[in-house]
Structure 1
Amino acid sequence: MDALTRLQQWYLDQCDEDWEHSCGVTITTLDNPGWNIEIDLAGTKLEGKALEPIHYGMFEDAETSGSEWIFCKVADNKFSAAGGPQKLEEIINEFLKWAAA
């Protein structure tokens, strides 16, 4: 099963006629270019679960190309992630891996 299908199933599993009215999954683009994802964790089994931030291609590891990077963290009861323009599937997979652990 691919990452998008698995994310869709995770979202559907959270829908309880309440959660989906105030929470959800947001995927947007960045202007550098890249992707940004926020996934609400409130009211899910993941609420309060810690995540050691995941990142590469940033900070001291940054390359001049600017497209090979990813950053994932949990803060304020949200999984927040961003990455280069071809990193959307990798970001989703990082979320799914963390969610399943």
Structure 2
Amino acid sequence: MGGAGSVLDWLQGWYARQCDGDWEHEWGVTIETLDNPGWHVRIDLEGTSLAERGDLEYVLERDGQDWVFARVRDRCFDASCGPGNLTDVLEMFRGWVAEAPD
């Protein structure tokens, strides 16, 4: 998987392209910590070209610190992961976006 800087740059660009004066007031990207420990990532797809794509379900469990659960449901990319897997989740979202039909 690519470096954190490159996927963060990509996510910033993706977010900026969604901002149209309306979308960013109701939708967005949330990255927060979990108490088990880990990360939770929520990326709203409503109002984007990806809103109708709902074909992702991913589970990876290596151990208590190395895990990812991700899915797209209700027009939202929703993922939780271990403390060292945030880049994996963002790369997963980038790959899923790249697979979207034009």
TM-score over 0.5 (shorter chain):
yes
Q: Is the 8 Å Cα contact of residues 54 and 75 (structure 2) preserved in structure 1?
A: no
Map of 1:8 onto structure 2: 12
Instruction: Give ranges in structure 2 of 5+ residues lacking alignment.
Output: none
Percent same amino acid among aligned pairs? 44
How many residues end up aligned between the 2 structures? 95
Q: 2: distance between equivalents of 1:70 and 1:36?
A: 10
Q: Tell me the CA shift for residue 10 of structure 1.
A: 0.3
The letter of the residue matching 1:94 is M
TM-score (norm 1): 0.90
1:8-61 deviation digits (Å, cap 9, x = unpaired): 00000000000000000000000000000000000101001022301110xxxx
1:75 Cα offset (Å)? 1.1
2:51 is aligned to 47
Residues in 2 aligned to 1:54 and 1:87: alpha-carbon distance in whole angstroms? 13
Note the 1:71-82 alignment, pairs <5 A: 71-82=69-80
TM-score (norm 2): 0.89
Q: Is the 8 A contact 1:51 1:98 kept in 2?
A: no
Q: Deviations over 1:61-81 (max 9, x none)?
A: x63xx1110011011110000
Structure 1 match to 2:34: 30
Structure 1, unaligned runs of 5 or more: none
Amino acid corresponding to residue 84 of structure 2 in structure 1: Q
CA distance in 2 between counterparts of 1:30 and 1:12 reads 26
Q: Distance in 2 between matches of 1:90 and 1:10?
A: 17
In structure 1, the partner of 2:92 is 94
